[in-house]
Amino acid sequence: MDYSQFGSMIPELIVLGIFMLVFLFDTFSNEKGKKFLTPFTTILFGLGTIAIWLLPADGEMVFGGMYVNDTVTNALKAILNIGVFIVFLQSAKWVESDEVAIRKGEFYELILVTLFGMYLMVSARHFLLFIIGLESASLPLAALVAFNKKHYESHEAAIKYIMTAVFSSAILLAGLSFVYAFSGGSLYFDDIAISIGQGEMSGLLIMALAFVIAGIGFKLSLVPFHLWTADVYQGAPTAITSYLSVISKGAAAVAFFIIFVQCFGSVYSEAWEWMLYAVIILTITVGNLFAIRQKNMKRFMAFSSISQAGYIMLGAIAANGLGLASMLFYIFVYVVSNLGAFAVISTIEENSGKLSMDDYNGLHKTNPWLSFAMTLAMFSLAGIPPFAGFFSKILIFTSVTGTGSWALYMLVLIALINTIISLYYYLLVVKAMWISPEEPKIGSFRSACSSRIALWLCIAGIVFFGIVPYIYQYCYDAVLNSLSFLFLF
Amino acid sequence: MFGNILIWFVVIPVIMMAGLGLCRNSSMNAIRAVMVVCSTVLLGLSIWLCVDFLRLREMGVDDEMLYTGSWMWYAPLNIHLAVGVDGISVLMLMLSAVIVFAGTFASWKINPLPKNFFLWFALLSTGVFGFFISIDIFTMFMFYEVALIPMYLLIGVWGTGRKEYSAMKLTLMLMGGSAFLMLGLLGIYWHSAPEGGQLTWNILEISRNASIAQEWQNMLFCFTFVGFGVLGAMFPFHTWSPDGHACAPTAVSMLHAGVLMKLGGYGCFRIAIYLLPQAANELAWIFIVLTGISIVYGAFSACVQTDLKYINAYSSVSHCGMVLFAILMLNTTAMTGAILQMLSHGLMTALFFALIGMIYGRTHTRDIRQMGGLMKIMPYLGVCYMIAGFASLGLPGLSGFVAEMTIFFGSFQNADLFHRIFVIAATCSIVITAVYILRVVGKLLLGPVQDEHHLQLTDATWFERFSTVTLILCIAGIGCFPNWINETIQHSFAPIMAAIQSAAL
């Protein structure tokens, strides 16, 4: 075996290295040393993130064509890393709490393992590796969801999560076994693409694709596969909820794009365009309509993130280079905006234990800065300029209308009307904080330094990276420079 | 980039926001100082721009847009930050500057959270100025939305009455309009060049390429016209306007009725008609019917309202309907009238809302049944209110007369029966306007004093006088010397008329 092939796996090696170091530190340090675990991991991870941003991706197919790290996957990994870094920062206070402190090593290790799995998911060019990535991304998450040992909600959420995760994997595997039948005994993406391109359309293929969509749809919580989302988001510790809502979603969305465009691109309009079309409409609309009635902020964010996933998938239905670039950019913006909102939610939860939207009434009187940050995050999620959310939405809409298809034009209309609905419920939060005349229920407090840094990072992302097109250009160049997606232009 | 004067119209409000950000919430004087300095600079800049613009035109520079500049922004989609102005935009910039200036003085004693109020106010003006200087439809749309969203907080936090409901209704309706608008703009972009050409968002290039097929034009025209029409308070999408205006604080009503509603008219003119001329020829009739209804319906509704702000809001529906109506007549005279009407209505409504705010601040009611004889108590405000009223009903010598006259002259040039019917109906609205204006003046200012508590009230303070005098001077200025406005805008119609005529062939 040629060990130099591992040289192509730089991001995976970095995450694995950090994992090993954290593990060793956690195992061999004494009580005193454990205090430094959090800054140690966070700083190490920050450095790793910078390394992944800066190191070039070689784009070589290694391990017999099973794995590739090209510019697209590298860009996604860098974006996910930023998200995880922010999650680490905002959870720094929570992991020091009495209940969690003794297990904080596990928290970091499990997150790093899931991140590693997500890396494999997007870099896989063979379904076996893809499944390995998917499983190692979802099983440790169940342990993380159950992290609040003493809360039964947390356990309930973990059971729900693991059941749906296993169930969806089973469905996905069933779909893949049909695909295997088509490809004549190969699970390489390239082989599958060729054999499907040559073969005839059949009911079996449609069923296979429906199963694959359902399987990945569970991870992305697309409607009608979303039923676990709200309960799990509500029950899980807030740090894990924010991790679940952005990181695993982003990875699954890009994996979806890669699989469907690379393997099943030739049957786009016959087989999966209309399925995805229906799923997107349902996802955006149902997510929005359910979010309106939510009073618990975590459930609220759950439904909001369902509908956001629908917008992310617009990039997949566009199935062109612009779509992929806009999707990456959307994920970045979604990461900073959603984590910004979660940073506020978790700070308030830690300092006052309040989670209901009614508790936010009159928040600006006691915590003007938090209210301001939350307002920006809400505006960005709703797609209001000059914040980044506006640009990510308009760019993804542009890529969809660029296909020239009449049906997709109408899809954009539906998505646009849905942004108005979403604006309504995002404004409800703003209304509670700024307009509601009631006396504030949350006292004034000073949040922890680390969560303030996390919040500032998110705000910087929200405010600057719409006006400054650097990230979009980075994503676009990534798609343009990646050999495997060149055909999309 | 900063060598271009137009950029400063956006940079100064941003500086204003930064300056406000540095002020402490309690130091009212610092906040006022920032606002006054920046809005004065903006006003000066816009006057200087107008003078320089006229000088250039005098020298025979007859490009469609002057002071153009274009900087690449989102390169993969060819999105530029492209700026340029013609006579119409120059006047609109000036109008906005005047109203921001007057609005600053009108909200001298805003409470609570003065700093946040002016921050959102500055963001709103950034959007307004940015919209008028852009010639790239992407940036234009962005600034358009920037101007819309601060309204939610401005009305919601500092408004009166049913402010939560009104703020939400206004925001959702306007954003709903902009959803359609955005779809229209995306359609325009993807058809902006002939097959194989470089797609563009630049208005001038799109119009030069003229490559949008008829059936697409028809659909996109409906999307864009409805999108902007919502902001222009076109029937049946006008319902946000009375509620929104009634609940908004004074300066916000001024800016909203005075400038923001003009964004609608300007957008219809600059994007819907200019870029989609074939569809404009074909489908104008639908919107003539709708705007015709808003003119008459708005005027009648104003007759029966008893809340001063509702009266004025419905009168705005009527007058803004007239702007869109005139634009749809598709001839130079009527369009000139439309621009005059935008200016005239902007100034006059701003004056109205400023005065209503001042009266309300003293009497604590806006119900005309509970007030009377105010002329004796506060003669200054009473006289100003009368002047605004006369401008609104079209007294010669004030701006309303010039605008409406030109609109109806122009509209009568379309000789077919359909146009005649609607023009005559629209003309009738002048009479109805006179009815509701005189009704208010009679009840509010003249007659016996209804409430003896009102006898203790004081007349306008210095900053209130300052704000109203500025506006009255402008109204009278337009009314007495409309010619220089004509000169400023006369070049602007040639390209649009050429597009319409070549499309009609």
* Bridge partners for B134 per DSSP: B83
Task: For residue A299, give the amino acid letter.
Answer: R
Cα B120 → chain centroid: 18
- Chain B residues within an 8 Å CB radius of A434: 153, 156-157
Over residues A238-280, the pLDDT tens digits come to 999 999 999 989 999 999 999 998 888 888 888 888 999 999 9
- Match 């307009």 to its residue by tokens: A435
Contact A413 B183 (CB under 8 A): yes
Give residue-wise pLDDT tens across range B76-94: 888 989 999 888 899 899 8
Of the candidates A394, A427, A473, the beta carbon closest to that of B182 is on A394
Element (H, E) at B84: strand B79-85
User: Quick check: is B486 in a domain?
Assistant: yes
Distance (Å, rounded) from C-alpha A294 to C-alpha B81? 40
Measured distance CA(B178)–CA(B176) in Å, rounded:
5
The pTM of this model reads: 0.94
Size of interface A-B (CB pairs under 8 A): 83
Does the beta-carbon distance from A417 to B76 stay under 8 Å? no
What is the per-residue pLDDT across A279-297, written as a single tens digit (0 to 9) for each?
999 999 999 999 998 899 9
* Structural domain harbouring B482: 7-504
Helix (H, G, I), strand (E, B) or coil at B307: strand
Q: Which residue of B has its CA nearest to A398?
A: B186
Helix (H, G, I), strand (E, B) or coil at B80: strand
- Sign for the CA dihedral angle at B271, B275, B277, B278 comes to negative
Structural domain total, chain A: 1
Whether residue A460 is predicted with pLDDT greater than 90 in this model: the reply is: yes
Q: Structure tokens of A26?
A: 């956690």
What is residue A18's predicted lDDT score, i.e. its pLDDT?
94
CB distance B9 to B130 below 8 Å: yes
Under DSSP, the state recorded for A60 is: -
Residue/partner pairs of A12-19 with CB below 8 Å, 24 or more apart: A12/A69, A12/A116, A12/A119, A12/A120, A12/A123, A14/A48, A14/A51, A14/A52, A15/A48, A15/A112, A15/A115, A15/A116, A15/A119, A16/A116, A17/A48, A18/A44, A18/A45, A18/A48, A18/A112, A19/A109, A19/A112, A19/A113, A19/A116
Residue B456 domain flag:
yes
- With CB atoms and an 8 Å threshold, state whether B149 touches A384: yes
Query: Confidence class of residue A352 from pLDDT cuts 50, 70 and 90?
Result: confident
- Residue A486 pLDDT grade (very low, low, confident, very high; cuts 50, 70, 90): low
Domain containing A206 equals 3-488
ipTM: 0.91
B471 within some domain: yes
Instruction: Report the distance separating Cα B337 and Cα B166, nearest Å.
Output: 32
pLDDT above 70: residue A146? yes
pLDDT of residue A290: 93
Give a yes or no: residue B2 inside a domain.
Answer: no
Say if CB A154 and CB A147 are below 8 A apart: yes
pLDDT confidence tier of residue A489, bands split at 50, 70 and 90 = low
- Contact A42/A239 with Cβ under 8 angstroms? no
Burial of B30 (0-12, 13-18, 19+ CB in 10 A): middle
Confirm whether B89 is domain-assigned. yes
Mean pLDDT (whole number) for A104-115: 92
Q: Please tell me which residue of chain A has the smallest CA distance to B220.
A: A409
Out of B142, B167, B172, name the one closest to residue A420 (CB): B172
Q: Specify the range with the lowest mean pLDDT, choosing from A104-113, A355-364, A383-392, A477-486.
A: A477-486
pLDDT range class, residue B59, cuts 50, 70, 90: confident
For residue B156, which residues of chain A lie inside 8 Å, CB to CB?
431, 434-435
Structural domain total, chain B: 1
Query: CA nearest B250: which of B393, B138, B397, B360?
Result: B360
